[in-house]
Amino acid sequence: MCGIIGYIGGKQAAPVLIDGLKRMEYRGYDSAGIALINDDGKVDLRKRKGRVSVMASEIEADRFPAHMGIGHTRWATHGGVTDANAHPHTSSCGRFIMVHNGIIENYENMRSFLAGKGYTFSSETDSEALVNLISYHYDERTVDGAADRFMESVRKALLHVEGTYGIAVISPLYPNEIIVARKGSPLLIGIGNGERLVASDVSGFAGRAQNVIYLEDGQLACVKKDFCDIITNGKQEVECVIKEIDWELETAELGSYRHFMQKEIFEQRKAIENAIRGRISDDMSTAILSGLNMSANELRQIDRILFCACGTAWHACLVAEYLIEKYARIPVEVEYASEFRYSNPPLDKNTLVFVISQSGETIDTLEALREAKRKGFKTLAITNVVGSTIARESDGGLYQYSGKEVGVASTKAFTSQIVICLLIALYFGRMRDLSFSDGREIVEAIKSLPDLIDETLKQAPKVEQIAKKYAKYPDFLFLGRLEEYPIALEGALKLKEISYIHAEGYPAAEMKHGPIALVCPECPTVIFANSGEIFHKVISNAKEIGARNGPVIMITDSPESIDEGLADDIIAIPKSHSSVRTVLSTIPIQMLAYYIAVARGCDVDKPRNLAKSVTVE
Ligand code: M6R
């Protein structure tokens, strides 16, 4: 989603801003722009629809000398993808220039108020209303004469905003400062040597800052090259909390891989090893989850667990439901984070609320967390991004340590989330009815996973062949039962996201109640048929598809038990304990989606319309 960058210091700002924008390209965007203020107060502004490189090619030609400026990658919400709607936006008087992430819900009222005062607009965006409102407040007598008149105008304008924002504002009248503020959209201040950066994501700092200040909701900062002042929107001073940036966690290079998604699929061994490191008890029978910040006594009081998340992370919650109910016998409910906030479901008092979010910035998930906190529930988070808003605002939780995930399609983060949920199931289970030997069996299964992942990844050449065969098909069905039902949903989501093929996931047996109408020679079905009590039931479902001339792609740990002719294509995964099998079942569907997207010539890491971190509702 939109990316913000800002720089003030001794270096030439334009290359720093462009580099920062390029580092944040993975977030997803459709246009880019920068605004620079030269030492003599002259403003240079360039913005273009399309990639950062399109806009940057004009900058290189001009070689701007400015030492401060702001930049933006826009993910369109209000108004189409045009040069005029791209950020930065300038107030009609030309004195204020702003980049904005988020949505200003009452922008129409603002626009008509400002239009009545003679302000004009050159874009269809909500953001342009805000930068003009800042200009309006600058001219008001209430801020006139204040030493911090610029910041005060921004603060006053923001008091009228309904909605969310992360903003950076500059003005040729104040060439030595950038005003930033946030409510709902992330905003970070990077501290370098005699220079400051602002960004919506640590990666925007591109190794230039060693320390970071995470602005909290309702805070504004005046950023200068060697210090910054932070206040609340109620004008209270705020002490700066400076954190060190772990660049090892924040950096991702493509290396010899063609795409980040491919790289991240192949990094799953390492990601899982990181997820379990230090989290297994010495007697190898349970998990150690000190990050939950809850005593054994508190945890024993839990009667119910609610999981909230979006997209792929929501699928991880569904797997968690199966695992926790099976091993810990605690009832689990799973809600879309976006629905939970407004549906206001009744919750028992001994409910524990978990949210899962790779980025830790998804606004729907963050708001679900806040809603649960507001109601007084203990809220825990599973996130990958250290220091993210969700990680900071939850009462406790578990970091995934999957390493940076750049590909918009989540892969290694998903399997890590599953493994962490299994650790939770094991932990709660061992506090209740799960025996020592059952606990040890699960621990052994978890420890065997890295090798089994490597073995599964060896299927890549075969999956690539299958992908080429089906790359032109217009529809896919994904079917799985029990804990493989969420993996069927995930398979359909992955394929949709990066190859733009229509796909649906269903519980295998549910197929007969409607989706079977889709089955035909042009609609392949990917079906999970793994050993266990429902193996033969799934085989029957596969036969029903074959009888209707639907191509069957079977993912199975028992290829030896599949009758000749039952499946058109078989992808074998290694045999494993049922507690960890979803991890292995996931890998072929990730590879299938990846290779199909490549075969179709799609931009795998930057799929159309999608954003890595969804920071608007
Ligand atoms: O960062 P989060 O885990 O909160 O993101 C949630 C979803 O936006 C995300 O999983 C999305 O569905 C991915 N593009 C899936 O590949």
Kindly report, residue by residue over 314-339, the tens digit of the pLDDT.
999 999 999 999 999 999 999 999 99
Q: What is the 3-state secondary structure (H, E, C) of 143-192?
A: CCCCCCHHHHHHHHHHCCCCECEEEEEEECCEEEEEEEEEEECCCEEEEC
Yes or no: is domain 460-603 CATH 3.40.50.10490? yes
Q: If you average pLDDT over residues 455-464, what whole number do you get?
A: 98
In ligand 1, the atom with minimum distance to the C-alpha of 613 is: 1
State in Å: Cα 469 to ligand 1 middle: 28
What pLDDT, on the 0 to 100 scale, is given for residue 555? 98
pLDDT at 179 over 60: yes
Top mutation candidate among 494, 614, 616, 617 for ligand 1, by most atoms within 8 Å of CB = 614
DSSP-derived secondary structure for 476-508: EEEEE-TTHHHHHHHHHHHHHHHH--EEEEEEG
Give the model's pLDDT for residue 139.
Answer: 85
268 pocket-lining for ligand 1 (C-beta < 6 Å): no
> CATH 3.40.50.10490 in the chain, residues?
252-457, 460-603
Q: Is 310 a catalytic residue?
A: no
Q: In whole angstroms, what is the distance from residue 285 CA to residue 288 CA? A: 10
Whether residue 384 has its Cβ less than 6 Å from ligand 1: no
The pLDDT mean for the chain works out to 93
pLDDT band at 207 (very low <50, low <70, confident <90, very high): confident
* Predicted pLDDT of residue 615: 77
CATH (residue range 3-247): 3.60.20.10
**Which residue CA neighbors atom 16 of ligand 1 most closely?**
409
The per-residue pLDDT for range 62-97, each reduced to its tens digit, is: 678 899 999 999 988 888 999 999 999 999 999 999
Ligand 1 in contact with 411 (CB < 6 A)?
no
Q: Is 310 in the pocket of ligand 1 (CB under 6 A)?
A: yes
**Which DSSP letter does residue 280 get?**
B
In the chain, the amino acid numbered 136 is: Y
The predicted pLDDT at position 541 comes to 94
Annotated active-site residue 612? The verdict is yes
566-595: per-residue pLDDT in tens? 999 999 999 999 999 999 999 999 999 999
- What pLDDT digit, counting tens, does each position of 336-395 carry? 999 998 898 889 989 999 999 999 999 999 999 999 999 999 999 999 998 899 999 999
| 408 CA closest ligand 1 atom index | 14
- 148 compared with 133, residue with greater pLDDT: 133
Work out the pLDDT band at 252, boundaries 50, 70, 90.
Answer: confident
Looking at residue 143, its pLDDT comes to 56
Q: Is the pLDDT of residue 479 over 70?
A: yes
Q: What pLDDT shows up at residue 612?
A: 81
Tokens representing 14? Answer: 């334009």
Which of 310, 399, 590 most suits a substitution to test ligand 1, by most atoms within 8 Å of the C-beta?
Answer: 310
Beta bridge partners of 47: 33
Task: Tell me the best of 259, 265, 408, 410 to mutate to test the pocket of ligand 1, counting ligand atoms within 8 Å of each CB and taking the most.
Answer: 410
Q: One of 412, 494, 496, 612 is an active-site residue; which one?
A: 612
CATH of domain 252-457: 3.40.50.10490
The boundaries of every CATH 3.60.20.10 domain in the chain are 3-247
Q: Residue 113: what pLDDT?
A: 95
State residue 140's pLDDT score: 72
* Residue 362 Cβ contacting ligand 1 at under 6 Å: yes
Q: How far apart are CA 60 and CA 266, in angstroms?
A: 36
pLDDT at 61 over 70: no
Whether residue 307 contacts residue 354, with contact meaning beta carbons closer than 8 Å, is answered with yes
